[in-house]
Amino acid sequence: MEALSIRHPCYSEDAHYYFARMHLAVAPACNIHCKYCNRKFDCVSESRPGVVSQVLKPAEAYRKVQEVVSTVPQLSVVGIAGPGDPLANPRQTFETFSLIKESWPDLELCLSTNGLKLADHITDLERLGIRHVTVTVNAVDIDIATDVYDRVHWRGQTYRGRDAAEILLERQAAGIEALQKAGILCKINSVLIPGVNDSHLVQVAEAARAWGAFTHNIMPLIISPGSPYEREGRSGPLGSETLKVQEACSAIMPVMRHCRQCRADAVGFLGGDTASADMPDTPVVRRTYPPEEREAIQAGLAKQLLEKQGKRAKRGAACGGEPPGRSPGTVRIAVATRGKGKVNLHFGHAKEFLVYEVAGDSSRLLGVRKVQAYCNGTAECADANGKQQILADTVAMLADCDILLSAGVGEHPSQLLREAGIVPIVKKGEIEQELLETAKFYRYFGHTAQAGPSVAPHSG
Ligand code: CLF
Ligand code: SF4
């Protein structure tokens, strides 16, 4: 029998190359207030601010699924992740899920919550066959939680300070334990907040392991404009800081590395905005797929994925058990890609970079680095600071990398990258293969390495 996670793009790194998800923004209200949030935007505990999803009614959400399910044959998961908290809007959330369940029983249903009302809805989750739930746990210590949450609305009353934190933490633990009892896979999301919970997240990882959670997703803080944290002048972590915490936590339990902090109405592949264009060996023409064809395509994809995992296991490069910290002799490479598993994007066009570590003949994804407008932890457009600031922020975000692999890079950014100790290399091709070749090249030539065609005369 197929593992529960095999077709879920968030619960399996491999699956995100093969299967797509869609979010339905049917849940506008929230029952807590995180200090990094401004409710004019999407929930930051699962997505990113700076975008406002249009709220749908359940019937509208149903029609949206109807359209996507028949045109994107790789769609395997439908999730509700906001724009507020799904369980603060139980009528809309469960009505939407019921409609989907009735028409497409093969689609996995998924939800992401702050956990306050989770324990109250376990029977609803069971009734609808929901097998994947994400709970955002930013702290398991009352004092630290008091610094993260402004207030909590519980049983008709508003609580602040320690009282609010105590209620939330107690309800989160009760909800997660109830999920375990019900056999529902639980992913823990934690927002990494420098100066608040950065050194505490290993304790959250320990709690997550004790709860029996499936994976831990550590997301760099992105602060909503107008939020309390913005007023306090806080900012998000650098890529290297996020990586350090992810590595420390990965010694305790599996850590998700491929999260894209997607919006509450995202549709398609993680990291790709055009659904079927991002897939290997699957149709790229948008057309209507009848259910039997969709089923056959997905069965084929699951087979390909399992074969790939089998080959990797044979090569002895299976996932999991990652060593914390940077191992000697490894090469760290940032890749600019627009999907399809290829190096195929110009440095200046990248809104995110995939960062890999190459050791010998194997590579592993360390994480995704978001850049440009939201690179430094604020969600406002960086126009005011100008292009140079974006460039400087991008280079700082990649400062712990040895190489930048892209389909093109201008002379000025090349120079800045080199000054930061990052070798810009221009290449196009399969990421997996280019990583190994580039790392080999780098080990031989070190910082003097320069491969591929000469750098393009662009500015970005
Ligand atoms: Fe959506 Fe979340 Fe379900 Fe995935 S997203 S509700 S678990 S189907 Fe995935 Fe997006 Fe990261 Fe969330 S990449 S933000 S972890
Ligand atoms: Fe905002 Fe927190 Fe509610 Fe998400 S859970 S909508 S981040 S207050």
Radius of gyration of the chain (CA): 22
- Give the closest residue (by CA) to ligand 1 atom 1: 79
- Angle 429-434-439 from CA coordinates, rounded to 5°: 160
The sheet that has 331-335: what strands, in order across it? 362-370, 352-359, 331-335, 403-406, 423-426
Q: Per residue in 80-137, pLDDT tens?
A: 998 999 999 999 999 999 999 999 999 999 999 999 999 999 999 999 999 999 999 9
Is the pLDDT at 40 greater than 50? The verdict is: yes
Cis amide leading into 83 (omega within 30): yes
Query: Which residues are bridge partners to 191 per DSSP?
Result: 219
Across 29-36, average pLDDT: 94
Question: CB of 46 closer than 6 A to ligand 1?
Answer: yes
State which ligand 1 atom lies nearest to the alpha carbon of 78.
Answer: 8
Using left for φ > 0, alpha for ψ between -120 and 50, and beta otherwise, residue 387 falls in alpha
Do 199 and 144 form a contact (C-beta atoms < 8 A)? Answer: no
Shortest-distance ligand to the CA of residue 88: 2
Question: CB of 259 closer than 6 A to ligand 1?
Answer: yes
- Give the closest residue (by CA) to ligand 1 atom 2: 112
Backbone angles phi, psi at 15, to 5 degrees: -65, -25
Q: How far, in Å, from the CA of 217 to the mean position of ligand 2?
A: 16
pLDDT of residue 271: 76
Across 326-354, average pLDDT: 85
Q: How far, in Å, from the CA of 108 to the mean position of ligand 1?
A: 13
Q: How far, in Å, from the CA of 342 to the mean position of ligand 1?
A: 23
State which ligand 1 atom lies nearest to the alpha carbon of 134.
Answer: 7
State which ligand 2 atom lies nearest to the alpha carbon of 114.
Answer: 5
Q: How far, in Å, from the CA of 42 to the mean position of ligand 2?
A: 8
pLDDT of residue 447: 58
Q: How far, in Å, from the CA of 231 to the mean position of ligand 1?
A: 28
Sign (positive or negative) of CA dihedral 427, 309, 358, 315: negative
Shortest-distance ligand to the CA of residue 228: 2
State which ligand 1 atom lies nearest to the alpha carbon of 219.
Answer: 11
Shortest-distance ligand to the CA of residue 77: 1
Question: CB of 134 closer than 6 A to ligand 1?
Answer: yes
* CA 294/CA 161 separation, integer angstroms: 50
The full DSSP string for 225-257 is TTSHHHHHT--PPPHHHHHHHHHHHHTTS-EE-
- Give the closest residue (by CA) to ligand 2 atom 3: 30
Q: Per residue in 248-294, pLDDT tens?
A: 999 999 999 999 888 888 888 887 644 333 444 444 456 677 888 88
The full DSSP string for 128-194 is TT--EEEEE---SSHHHHHHHEEEEEETTEEEEHHHHHHHHHHHHHHHHHHHHHHT-EEEEEEEE-T
Question: CB of 81 closer than 6 A to ligand 1?
Answer: yes
Across 308-334, average pLDDT: 65
Is the pLDDT at 373 greater than 70? The verdict is: no
Question: CB of 44 closer than 6 A to ligand 2?
Answer: yes
Q: Per residue in 51-67, pLDDT tens?
A: 667 899 999 999 999 98
* CA 183/CA 80 separation, integer angstroms: 20
- Give the closest residue (by CA) to ligand 2 atom 2: 34
pLDDT of residue 263: 83
